[in-house]
Structure 1
Protein backbone atom coordinates (compact mmCIF):
# COMPACT_ATOMS: atom_id res chain seq x y z
CA UNK A 1 0.00 0.00 0.00
CA UNK A 2 1.49 3.32 -1.02
CA UNK A 3 1.05 6.38 1.18
CA UNK A 4 0.87 9.92 -0.14
CA UNK A 5 2.19 12.71 2.06
CA UNK A 6 0.26 15.95 2.10
CA UNK A 7 1.83 19.05 0.65
CA UNK A 8 2.73 22.11 2.66
CA UNK A 9 3.52 22.57 6.36
CA UNK A 10 0.97 20.06 7.60
CA UNK A 11 2.20 16.96 9.33
CA UNK A 12 1.86 13.67 7.57
CA UNK A 13 -1.21 11.56 8.26
CA UNK A 14 -0.85 7.86 7.74
CA UNK A 15 -3.49 6.13 5.73
CA UNK A 16 -5.30 3.45 7.71
CA UNK A 17 -6.95 0.54 5.91
CA UNK A 18 -10.78 0.62 6.22
CA UNK A 19 -10.99 -2.75 7.97
CA UNK A 20 -8.77 -1.47 10.80
CA UNK A 21 -10.90 1.65 11.26
CA UNK A 22 -14.05 -0.47 11.50
CA UNK A 23 -12.41 -2.81 14.01
CA UNK A 24 -11.22 0.11 16.14
CA UNK A 25 -14.71 1.64 16.09
CA UNK A 26 -16.30 -1.68 17.06
CA UNK A 27 -13.90 -2.08 19.99
CA UNK A 28 -14.60 1.47 21.20
CA UNK A 29 -18.38 0.90 20.97
CA UNK A 30 -18.13 -2.37 22.87
CA UNK A 31 -16.12 -0.65 25.60
CA UNK A 32 -18.68 2.17 25.82
CA UNK A 33 -21.57 -0.31 26.08
CA UNK A 34 -19.72 -2.23 28.78
CA UNK A 35 -19.02 0.95 30.75
CA UNK A 36 -22.67 1.99 30.43
CA UNK A 37 -23.80 -1.43 31.70
CA UNK A 38 -21.50 -1.16 34.73
CA UNK A 39 -22.69 2.37 35.46
CA UNK A 40 -26.33 1.32 35.17
CA UNK A 41 -25.78 -1.63 37.49
CA UNK A 42 -24.00 0.57 40.03
CA UNK A 43 -26.88 3.05 40.07
CA UNK A 44 -29.67 0.46 40.20
CA UNK A 45 -31.72 0.05 43.40
CA UNK A 46 -30.36 -2.60 45.75
CA UNK A 47 -33.67 -4.33 46.38
CA UNK A 48 -34.96 -2.32 49.37
CA UNK A 49 -38.23 -0.45 49.30
CA UNK A 50 -38.49 2.32 46.74
CA UNK A 51 -38.28 5.61 48.66
CA UNK A 52 -40.77 7.22 46.26
CA UNK A 53 -43.38 4.56 47.00
CA UNK A 54 -43.84 5.28 50.69
CA UNK A 55 -44.47 8.29 52.85
CA UNK A 56 -41.41 9.98 54.24
CA UNK A 57 -41.07 12.11 57.36
CA UNK A 58 -41.01 15.20 55.12
CA UNK A 59 -44.56 14.48 53.99
CA UNK A 60 -43.86 13.41 50.40
CA UNK A 61 -46.41 10.81 49.37
CA UNK A 62 -46.34 8.28 46.60
CA UNK A 63 -47.50 9.67 43.26
CA UNK A 64 -50.42 7.66 41.92
CA UNK A 65 -52.43 7.45 45.12
CA UNK A 66 -54.87 10.38 45.09
CA UNK A 67 -58.34 11.20 43.86
CA UNK A 68 -58.48 14.84 42.81
CA UNK A 69 -61.59 17.02 42.58
CA UNK A 70 -61.75 20.52 41.14
CA UNK A 71 -64.83 22.69 41.63
CA UNK A 72 -64.85 25.91 39.58
CA UNK A 73 -67.53 28.56 40.05
CA UNK A 74 -68.02 32.20 39.13
CA UNK A 75 -66.77 34.02 36.12
CA UNK A 76 -68.81 36.40 34.00
CA UNK A 77 -71.16 33.64 32.75
CA UNK A 78 -71.56 32.01 36.15
CA UNK A 79 -70.00 28.57 35.63
CA UNK A 80 -70.35 25.69 38.06
CA UNK A 81 -68.01 22.90 36.91
CA UNK A 82 -67.11 19.84 38.97
CA UNK A 83 -64.36 17.51 37.80
CA UNK A 84 -63.20 14.38 39.59
CA UNK A 85 -60.11 12.39 38.56
CA UNK A 86 -59.36 8.93 39.96
CA UNK A 87 -55.81 7.75 40.70
CA UNK A 88 -55.96 5.73 37.46
CA UNK A 89 -56.64 8.92 35.46
CA UNK A 90 -60.34 8.39 34.66
CA UNK A 91 -62.26 11.66 34.95
CA UNK A 92 -65.87 12.80 35.09
CA UNK A 93 -66.94 16.40 34.59
CA UNK A 94 -70.33 17.96 35.29
CA UNK A 95 -71.27 21.52 34.31
CA UNK A 96 -73.89 23.99 35.60
CA UNK A 97 -76.63 22.35 33.50
CA UNK A 98 -75.66 18.97 35.06
CA UNK A 99 -74.40 17.71 31.70
CA UNK A 100 -71.77 15.05 32.28
CA UNK A 101 -68.84 13.93 30.22
CA UNK A 102 -65.99 11.59 30.98
CA UNK A 103 -62.63 10.53 29.68
CA UNK A 104 -59.15 9.56 30.69
CA UNK A 105 -55.97 11.56 31.24
CA UNK A 106 -52.90 10.70 29.22
CA UNK A 107 -50.14 8.89 31.07
CA UNK A 108 -48.12 12.11 31.19
CA UNK A 109 -51.07 14.14 32.53
CA UNK A 110 -51.82 11.48 35.14
CA UNK A 111 -48.20 11.41 36.31
CA UNK A 112 -48.08 15.21 36.51
CA UNK A 113 -51.34 15.31 38.44
CA UNK A 114 -50.31 12.64 40.92
CA UNK A 115 -46.96 14.34 41.47
CA UNK A 116 -48.72 17.65 42.19
CA UNK A 117 -51.24 15.88 44.45
CA UNK A 118 -48.39 14.39 46.47
CA UNK A 119 -46.55 17.70 46.81
CA UNK A 120 -46.22 18.65 50.51
CA UNK A 121 -46.62 22.34 49.63
CA UNK A 122 -50.31 21.58 49.11
CA UNK A 123 -50.68 21.07 52.88
CA UNK A 124 -49.18 24.51 53.51
CA UNK A 125 -51.43 26.09 50.89
CA UNK A 126 -54.50 24.63 52.60
CA UNK A 127 -53.66 26.47 55.84
CA UNK A 128 -52.53 29.79 54.33
CA UNK A 129 -54.42 32.93 55.32
CA UNK A 130 -56.80 34.15 52.65
CA UNK A 131 -57.95 37.64 51.78
CA UNK A 132 -60.83 38.78 49.58
CA UNK A 133 -60.03 38.74 45.88
CA UNK A 134 -59.21 41.95 44.04
CA UNK A 135 -60.84 40.71 40.82
CA UNK A 136 -64.49 40.98 39.83
CA UNK A 137 -66.02 37.96 38.10
CA UNK A 138 -62.98 35.81 38.85
CA UNK A 139 -63.22 32.04 38.83
CA UNK A 140 -63.32 30.55 42.33
CA UNK A 141 -61.64 27.17 42.72
CA UNK A 142 -61.84 24.50 45.37
CA UNK A 143 -59.23 21.80 44.84
CA UNK A 144 -59.63 18.66 46.96
CA UNK A 145 -56.96 15.97 47.04
CA UNK A 146 -57.93 12.71 48.77
CA UNK A 147 -54.72 10.82 49.34
CA UNK A 148 -55.19 7.11 49.83
CA UNK A 149 -53.40 5.08 52.45
CA UNK A 150 -54.37 7.24 55.41
CA UNK A 151 -52.44 10.28 54.17
CA UNK A 152 -55.47 12.50 54.46
CA UNK A 153 -57.59 14.86 52.45
CA UNK A 154 -56.42 18.37 51.63
CA UNK A 155 -58.71 21.15 50.39
CA UNK A 156 -57.47 24.46 48.99
CA UNK A 157 -59.77 27.30 47.90
CA UNK A 158 -58.67 30.34 45.91
CA UNK A 159 -59.74 32.90 43.32
CA UNK A 160 -58.02 32.98 39.95
CA UNK A 161 -56.83 36.58 40.18
CA UNK A 162 -53.26 37.54 39.24
CA UNK A 163 -53.45 40.63 41.48
CA UNK A 164 -54.17 38.64 44.64
CA UNK A 165 -51.39 37.89 47.08
CA UNK A 166 -50.48 34.50 48.50
CA UNK A 167 -51.93 32.46 45.63
CA UNK A 168 -51.53 28.70 46.07
CA UNK A 169 -49.18 27.71 43.24
CA UNK A 170 -49.59 23.93 43.60
CA UNK A 171 -53.39 24.01 43.84
CA UNK A 172 -53.54 26.43 40.90
CA UNK A 173 -51.31 24.09 38.86
CA UNK A 174 -53.68 21.20 39.68
CA UNK A 175 -56.72 23.25 38.63
CA UNK A 176 -55.05 24.33 35.38
CA UNK A 177 -53.95 20.78 34.55
CA UNK A 178 -57.34 19.21 35.29
CA UNK A 179 -59.47 21.82 33.51
CA UNK A 180 -57.12 21.87 30.52
CA UNK A 181 -56.90 18.09 30.21
CA UNK A 182 -60.67 17.63 30.46
CA UNK A 183 -61.62 20.57 28.25
CA UNK A 184 -63.74 22.03 31.04
Structure 2
Protein backbone atom coordinates (compact mmCIF):
# COMPACT_ATOMS: atom_id res chain seq x y z
CA UNK A 1 0.00 0.00 0.00
CA UNK A 2 2.81 2.45 0.82
CA UNK A 3 4.45 1.72 -2.51
CA UNK A 4 1.20 2.48 -4.32
CA UNK A 5 0.72 5.78 -2.48
CA UNK A 6 4.26 6.92 -3.17
CA UNK A 7 3.84 6.16 -6.89
CA UNK A 8 0.63 8.17 -6.87
CA UNK A 9 2.37 11.35 -5.61
CA UNK A 10 4.82 11.68 -8.54
CA UNK A 11 1.90 11.32 -10.98
CA UNK A 12 -0.02 14.12 -9.24
CA UNK A 13 3.11 16.29 -9.20
CA UNK A 14 3.67 15.64 -12.91
CA UNK A 15 0.07 16.56 -13.64
CA UNK A 16 0.45 19.83 -11.74
CA UNK A 17 3.75 20.54 -13.48
CA UNK A 18 2.15 20.00 -16.90
CA UNK A 19 -0.75 22.28 -16.02
CA UNK A 20 1.67 24.90 -14.76
CA UNK A 21 3.69 24.73 -18.00
CA UNK A 22 0.52 24.85 -20.08
CA UNK A 23 -0.76 27.96 -18.24
CA UNK A 24 2.67 29.61 -18.43
CA UNK A 25 2.72 29.01 -22.18
CA UNK A 26 -0.74 30.58 -22.60
CA UNK A 27 0.28 33.63 -20.54
CA UNK A 28 3.50 34.02 -22.55
CA UNK A 29 1.67 33.78 -25.91
CA UNK A 30 -1.03 36.22 -24.78
CA UNK A 31 1.63 38.67 -23.60
CA UNK A 32 3.54 38.37 -26.86
CA UNK A 33 0.43 39.03 -28.92
CA UNK A 34 -0.56 41.99 -26.75
CA UNK A 35 2.90 43.52 -26.95
CA UNK A 36 3.10 42.96 -30.68
CA UNK A 37 -0.14 44.78 -31.39
CA UNK A 38 0.28 47.65 -28.94
CA UNK A 39 3.52 48.95 -30.45
CA UNK A 40 2.55 50.12 -33.89
CA UNK A 41 5.42 51.56 -35.86
CA UNK A 42 4.57 54.16 -38.45
CA UNK A 43 4.95 53.02 -42.03
CA UNK A 44 4.95 56.30 -44.00
CA UNK A 45 5.66 59.95 -43.47
CA UNK A 46 4.50 62.69 -45.81
CA UNK A 47 6.15 66.03 -45.07
CA UNK A 48 5.18 69.14 -47.00
CA UNK A 49 6.68 72.54 -46.45
CA UNK A 50 5.69 75.61 -48.37
CA UNK A 51 5.98 79.38 -48.34
CA UNK A 52 8.70 81.52 -46.89
CA UNK A 53 10.61 84.18 -48.78
CA UNK A 54 12.03 81.53 -51.13
CA UNK A 55 8.55 80.31 -52.04
CA UNK A 56 9.29 76.71 -51.14
CA UNK A 57 6.99 73.95 -52.28
CA UNK A 58 8.58 70.70 -51.10
CA UNK A 59 6.93 67.32 -50.70
CA UNK A 60 8.96 64.59 -48.97
CA UNK A 61 7.59 61.06 -48.81
CA UNK A 62 9.37 58.49 -46.64
CA UNK A 63 8.60 54.79 -46.46
CA UNK A 64 10.03 53.80 -43.08
CA UNK A 65 9.77 50.10 -43.90
CA UNK A 66 12.08 50.25 -46.92
CA UNK A 67 13.84 53.53 -46.13
CA UNK A 68 12.93 55.01 -49.50
CA UNK A 69 12.70 58.80 -49.47
CA UNK A 70 11.40 60.84 -52.38
CA UNK A 71 11.55 64.62 -52.60
CA UNK A 72 9.39 66.47 -55.07
CA UNK A 73 10.29 70.12 -55.56
CA UNK A 74 8.23 71.67 -58.32
CA UNK A 75 9.02 69.48 -61.37
CA UNK A 76 12.18 67.95 -59.89
CA UNK A 77 11.99 64.52 -58.20
CA UNK A 78 14.91 63.17 -56.17
CA UNK A 79 15.03 59.73 -54.56
CA UNK A 80 17.34 58.13 -52.01
CA UNK A 81 17.41 55.38 -49.41
CA UNK A 82 17.74 56.51 -45.81
CA UNK A 83 20.31 54.85 -43.60
CA UNK A 84 19.19 52.55 -40.79
CA UNK A 85 20.35 55.27 -38.37
CA UNK A 86 18.12 57.90 -40.01
CA UNK A 87 15.12 55.56 -40.01
CA UNK A 88 15.70 54.69 -36.36
CA UNK A 89 16.04 58.36 -35.43
CA UNK A 90 12.77 59.18 -37.23
CA UNK A 91 10.96 56.30 -35.52
CA UNK A 92 12.27 57.46 -32.12
CA UNK A 93 11.20 61.07 -32.75
CA UNK A 94 7.73 59.95 -33.84
CA UNK A 95 7.34 57.61 -30.86
CA UNK A 96 8.01 60.54 -28.52
CA UNK A 97 5.11 62.57 -29.97
CA UNK A 98 1.52 62.71 -28.80
CA UNK A 99 0.23 62.53 -32.38
CA UNK A 100 -3.47 62.63 -31.54
CA UNK A 101 -3.04 65.77 -29.46
CA UNK A 102 -0.87 67.47 -32.09
CA UNK A 103 -3.37 66.63 -34.84
CA UNK A 104 -6.19 68.16 -32.80
CA UNK A 105 -4.33 71.48 -32.39
CA UNK A 106 -5.71 73.99 -34.90
CA UNK A 107 -3.26 75.85 -37.13
CA UNK A 108 -2.79 79.52 -36.42
CA UNK A 109 -4.94 81.81 -38.57
CA UNK A 110 -2.06 84.32 -38.76
CA UNK A 111 -0.15 83.94 -41.99
CA UNK A 112 2.96 85.80 -43.07
CA UNK A 113 5.08 85.55 -46.16
CA UNK A 114 8.18 84.84 -44.03
CA UNK A 115 6.71 81.76 -42.35
CA UNK A 116 6.93 78.24 -43.64
CA UNK A 117 3.78 76.16 -43.47
CA UNK A 118 4.15 72.48 -42.61
CA UNK A 119 1.86 69.54 -43.21
CA UNK A 120 3.03 66.29 -41.64
CA UNK A 121 1.10 63.09 -42.24
CA UNK A 122 2.19 60.03 -40.29
CA UNK A 123 0.13 57.11 -41.52
CA UNK A 124 -3.47 58.35 -41.04
CA UNK A 125 -2.71 61.30 -38.71
CA UNK A 126 -2.19 64.77 -40.18
CA UNK A 127 -0.63 67.74 -38.40
CA UNK A 128 -0.67 71.24 -39.88
CA UNK A 129 1.40 74.07 -38.44
CA UNK A 130 3.63 77.01 -39.31
CA UNK A 131 6.95 78.38 -38.09
CA UNK A 132 4.97 80.80 -35.92
CA UNK A 133 3.11 78.14 -33.96
CA UNK A 134 5.35 75.06 -34.29
CA UNK A 135 4.98 73.07 -31.03
CA UNK A 136 8.25 72.50 -29.19
CA UNK A 137 7.62 68.73 -29.15
CA UNK A 138 7.39 68.71 -32.97
CA UNK A 139 10.55 70.80 -33.55
CA UNK A 140 13.05 67.87 -33.50
CA UNK A 141 11.04 65.94 -36.13
CA UNK A 142 10.71 69.00 -38.38
CA UNK A 143 14.45 69.65 -38.00
CA UNK A 144 15.24 66.05 -38.98
CA UNK A 145 12.90 66.13 -41.99
CA UNK A 146 14.35 69.49 -43.12
CA UNK A 147 17.85 67.98 -42.86
CA UNK A 148 16.77 65.05 -45.08
CA UNK A 149 15.43 67.51 -47.66
CA UNK A 150 18.66 69.53 -47.54
CA UNK A 151 20.71 66.35 -47.94
CA UNK A 152 18.66 65.25 -50.94
CA UNK A 153 18.71 68.62 -52.64
CA UNK A 154 22.45 69.23 -52.23
CA UNK A 155 23.44 65.96 -53.91
TM-score, normalized by length of structure 1?
0.57
Partner of 1:112: 89
SS in 1 for 2:106: coil
CA contact (8 A) 2:108 2:129 kept: no
Please say if residues 68 and 85 of structure 1, whose CA atoms lie closer than 8 Å, have aligned partners that are also in contact.
Answer: yes
* Pairing of 1:2-151 with structure 2 (within 5 A): 48-49=31-32, 53-55=36-38, 61-63=39-41, 65-87=42-64, 88-96=66-74, 98-119=75-96, 121-133=98-110, 135-146=112-123
User: Structure 1 170/53 Cα, relative in aligned 2: closer, same or farther at 3 Å?
Assistant: farther
The question of whether the paired residues in 1 share the 8 Å contact of 2:60 and 2:71 is answered with: yes
1:148-163 to 2 correspondence within 5 Å?
Answer: 153-161=124-132
> Unaligned 5+ residue runs, structure 2?
1-27
Give ranges in structure 1 of 5+ residues lacking alignment: 1-45, 56-60, 147-152
Quote the offset at 1:52 in angstroms.
Answer: 5.9
Greater gyration radius: 1
Aligned length: 122
Query: What is the TM-score normalised by the length of structure 2?
Result: 0.66
Alpha-carbon distance in 2 for matches of 1:134, 1:177? 24
In 2, Cα distance between the equivalents of 1:129 and 1:92? 28
